[in-house]
A and B are shown apart, each in its own frame.
Chain A
Amino acid sequence: MSAPLVSLRDIVKGYRRGQQVVPVLTGISFDIAAGEFLALMGPSGSGKSTLLNLIAGIDRPDTGELIVAGERIGTLQEAELADWRARHVGFIFQFYNLMPVLSALENVELPLLLKDMSHRERRERGELALSMVGLADRMDHAPSELSGGQQQRVAIARALITDPTLIVADEPTGDLDRESASDVLRLMQRLNDEIGKTIIMVTHDSRAAEYAHAIMHLEKGELSGREAVR
């Protein structure tokens, strides 16, 4: 069996609230295999977003071992971590987090600025990514001219463009109506099925979770077992 893409051992993370340190994760251990579509669920404050942030490399654990895409990211320096993220992680946020002053195409091309690429090549890739999410005809629109669902799809195209090792999504449908939500989730499912993208999604919506392969519950800093969906 090949090595897991993500491997956590005894991960502990707490947050400082004034004088106190509030424990959020108190010794999490589990693996995620390449190609999985995993949903993380739990009540608010359970630490599911915290866990996602650790795996995505935008936060560091207090103690424990964290290996993602073959790298011990728990001990990397800021700059190295940034480079690592650029190469390995694609982000999908609840509020899309697009740059308001850039067009859809420019937003999608943004991560490519970190790579050595000609202007023309960047543009080609960007158009390709946008057509993959079905928005090629909207590439010169500003985010304010797109609906919520369309903005999220642009964000997905942005997440894809560097061909990352894994995609993390934090409440991707939290701000969408039912129809746009299912569009987005279906797209994510396709990416996972057809291209084999590993996706880790945090959500509180059980209907959204059903698009994943498996669901894990996080409660009071402890993980329940895997619950297969499909």
Chain B
Amino acid sequence: MLPALIFRNAFRHKLRSLLTLLGLTVAILAFGLLSTVVEAWYAGAEGASSARLVVRNSISLVFPLPLTYRQKIRQIDGVRAITTANWFGGIYKEPKNFFPQFAVEASTYLDLYPEFVLSEAEHKDFLHDRQGAVIGEKLAATYGIKLGDTMTLKGTIFPGQWAFVVRGIYRGRDAKTDVSQMFFHWDYLNETMKVRAPRRANTVGVYVVEVADPTRVAEISRVIDGEFGNSYAETLTETEKAFQLGFVSMTEAIVVAIRLVSYLVIFIILAVMANTMAMTVRERTAEYATLKALGFGPPFVMLLIYGESLAIAALGGGIGIALTFPVATAFAKAMGTLFPVFVVSAKTVWLQACCALAVGLISALFPARSAARVNIVDGLRSIG
């Protein structure tokens, strides 16, 4: 009978229950979406390797490194493989179509990035065409680009119009792999720059280094930096993960703000729920007094109220969680390539459930207490 009492009371006022459910659903949904946005922000760093090192100019990424460093770094003990990458920063059709573009050492790049899966044939085609480019499948899907298509980028750092032929489309080995990147031959970039702006030729953005033993990353990083200390271009070497996290921390303020706001929405719905429960309990004072007169103790009355609050919270939370998945998918589509990975994680669902539970419990706290304490005689007299 207890479950019957709880559930039927929860939906006694159809309109009120419906509105409360709606509010909860929207709040939990919003919370889930915002959590997913925060996780997507860190996704790049999450998927980064701890066995790959990034070597950059210690002043900032804006400054390049000389090509001559390659040999020296390769010879350092513990370095198994090396490749180079230059951030290109071009515009594809419109500035808002943002995706990473790199000019890389084509012969070695894919060896250091085994998570980019490319067919043998496409890999060969890419290597043979100096103007060729390889793009991720998400990029291909978002802009409808197929093998053999020409992509034209408007250079910002490297001025002029740049045309590339798509020779390969790579897949991601893992779920978190970024499949929205584009890379092409550094040779093509360099040859063109030798003509357009010779001073800027033969420079590299970063070196990407693979170490044989991941436990030695800190030591090898120090050795690399020590090699070029006091030289014309001092280096800073860190793991790829640290490198990516560095970027995230630069926009940390925004991430923190989004996180705070996601909890704010829970507080808003808590205020609404607490109000609903307070009003509901007050209206039923006579009923609780009757139960107490009949011999039911305060715990029973409290159980009724907590049960009702939790029933609504569970239902609203459940619907909100269920809706998060399709809404996240739609959102990811609308965002295009801005977030390479946009997936609702188990952790987010867990947090959503906890929030729903907390809202159910806290909003019942004071009403349950006052109902349990109601003086029978006064309670019977009240009209609500």
Whether a CB of chain A sits under 8 angstroms from the CB of B376 is yes
CB-CB contacts below 8 Å: B1-46 with A: 1-2, 4-5, 8-9, 12
The answer to whether A97 and B1 have CB atoms under 8 Å apart is: no
Whether a CB of chain B sits under 8 angstroms from the CB of A106 is yes
Q: Across the interface, which residues of B come within 8 angstroms of A59, CB to CB?
A: 376-377
- Inter-chain CA distance A213–B12, complex, in Å, is 42
Whether a CB of chain B sits under 8 angstroms from the CB of A91 is yes
Tell me which of B1, B2, B290, B292 contacts A82 (CB under 8 A): B292
Whether a CB of chain A sits under 8 angstroms from the CB of B114 is no
The answer to whether A101 and B8 have CB atoms under 8 Å apart is: yes
The answer to whether A56 and B293 have CB atoms under 8 Å apart is: yes
Whether a CB of chain B sits under 8 angstroms from the CB of A114 is yes
The answer to whether B294 and A85 have CB atoms under 8 Å apart is: yes
Q: Across the interface, which residues of B come within 8 angstroms of A106, CB to CB?
A: 1, 4
CB-CB contacts below 8 Å: A48-103 with B: 53, 56, 58-59, 78-79, 82-83, 85-87, 91, 93, 95, 97, 99-102
Whether a CB of chain A sits under 8 angstroms from the CB of B155 is no
The answer to whether B380 and A97 have CB atoms under 8 Å apart is: yes
Whether a CB of chain A sits under 8 angstroms from the CB of B296 is yes
- Inter-chain CA distance A221–B233, complex, in Å, is 102
Whether a CB of chain B sits under 8 angstroms from the CB of A109 is yes
Closest-by-CB residue of B relative to A53 is: B377
Whether a CB of chain B sits under 8 angstroms from the CB of A4 is no
Q: How many Å from the CB of A17 to the closest CB on chain B? A: 13
Q: How many Å from the CB of B61 to the closest CB on chain A? A: 66
Whether a CB of chain A sits under 8 angstroms from the CB of B95 is no
Whether a CB of chain B sits under 8 angstroms from the CB of A136 is no
Whether a CB of chain A sits under 8 angstroms from the CB of B227 is no
On chain A, which size bracket covers the interface? Answer: 20 to 34
Q: How many Å from the CB of B30 to the closest CB on chain A? A: 32
- Inter-chain CA distance A79–B299, complex, in Å, is 10
Q: How many Å from the CB of B220 to the closest CB on chain A? A: 71
Whether a CB of chain A sits under 8 angstroms from the CB of B287 is yes
Q: Across the interface, which residues of B come within 8 angstroms of A85, CB to CB?
A: 293-295
The answer to whether A97 and B287 have CB atoms under 8 Å apart is: yes
Closest-by-CB residue of B relative to A54 is: B377
Q: How many Å from the CB of B296 to the closest CB on chain A? A: 7
CB-CB contacts below 8 Å: B285-321 with A: 286-287, 290, 292-298
Q: Across the interface, which residues of A come within 8 angstroms of B8, CB to CB?
A: 101-102
Whether a CB of chain B sits under 8 angstroms from the CB of A1 is no
Q: Across the interface, which residues of A come within 8 angstroms of B290, CB to CB?
A: 91, 93, 97, 99
- Inter-chain CA distance A83–B8, complex, in Å, is 27
Whether a CB of chain B sits under 8 angstroms from the CB of A113 is yes
Q: Across the interface, which residues of B come within 8 angstroms of A87, CB to CB?
A: 295
- Inter-chain CA distance A93–B381, complex, in Å, is 11
Q: Mark B352-384, 1 if CB is under 8 A from A, else 0.
A: 000000000000000000000000110010000
Given A58-B377, A59-B377, A97-B290, residue A111 in contact with residue B4 (CB < 8 A): no
Whether a CB of chain B sits under 8 angstroms from the CB of A132 is no
CB-CB contacts below 8 Å: A106-131 with B: 106, 109-111, 113-114
Q: How many Å from the CB of B380 to the closest CB on chain A? A: 7
- Inter-chain CA distance A45–B94, complex, in Å, is 83
The answer to whether B294 and A111 have CB atoms under 8 Å apart is: yes
Q: Across the interface, which residues of A come within 8 angstroms of B12, CB to CB?
A: 100-101
Closest-by-CB residue of B relative to A81 is: B295
- Inter-chain CA distance A1–B292, complex, in Å, is 35
Closest-by-CB residue of A relative to B381 is: A49
The answer to whether B287 and A58 have CB atoms under 8 Å apart is: no
Given A58-B377, A93-B380, A97-B287, residue A102 in contact with residue B5 (CB < 8 A): yes
The answer to whether A83 and B295 have CB atoms under 8 Å apart is: yes
The answer to whether A110 and B294 have CB atoms under 8 Å apart is: yes
Q: Across the interface, which residues of B come within 8 angstroms of A86, CB to CB?
A: 294-296
The answer to whether B297 and A110 have CB atoms under 8 Å apart is: no
- Inter-chain CA distance A163–B354, complex, in Å, is 46
- Inter-chain CA distance A40–B235, complex, in Å, is 99
Q: Across the interface, which residues of A come within 8 angstroms of B377, CB to CB?
A: 53, 58-59
Q: How many Å from the CB of A107 to the closest CB on chain B? A: 10
- Inter-chain CA distance A56–B293, complex, in Å, is 9
Q: How many Å from the CB of A24 to the closest CB on chain B? A: 12
Q: Across the interface, which residues of B come within 8 angstroms of A110, CB to CB?
A: 1, 294
The answer to whether A113 and B1 have CB atoms under 8 Å apart is: yes
Given A58-B376, A58-B377, A59-B376, residue A101 in contact with residue B293 (CB < 8 A): no
Q: Across the interface, which residues of A come within 8 angstroms of B297, CB to CB?
A: 78-79, 82
The answer to whether A99 and B295 have CB atoms under 8 Å apart is: no
- Inter-chain CA distance A59–B5, complex, in Å, is 27
CB-CB contacts below 8 Å: B176-223 with A: none
Q: Across the interface, which residues of A come within 8 angstroms of B287, CB to CB?
A: 97, 99-100
Q: Across the interface, which residues of A come within 8 angstroms of B2, CB to CB?
A: 113
Q: Across the interface, which residues of A come within 8 angstroms of B296, CB to CB?
A: 82, 86, 113-114
Residues of B within 8 A of A (CB): 1-2, 4-5, 8-9, 12, 286-287, 290, 292-298, 376-377, 380
What are 24 residue pairs bridging A and B, where the CB atoms are less than 8 Å apart in the complex?
A: A53-B376, A59-B376, A59-B377, A78-B297, A82-B292, A82-B296, A82-B297, A83-B295, A86-B294, A86-B295, A95-B286, A97-B380, A99-B5, A99-B287, A99-B290, A100-B287, A101-B4, A101-B9, A102-B1, A110-B294, A111-B294, A111-B295, A113-B1, A114-B296
Closest 5 CB pairs of A and B: A86-B295, A101-B8, A58-B376, A97-B290, A85-B295
12 further contact pairs, Cβ within 8 A, besides A113-B2, A113-B296: A58-B293, A59-B376, A59-B377, A82-B295, A86-B294, A91-B294, A93-B290, A93-B380, A97-B286, A101-B5, A114-B295, A114-B296
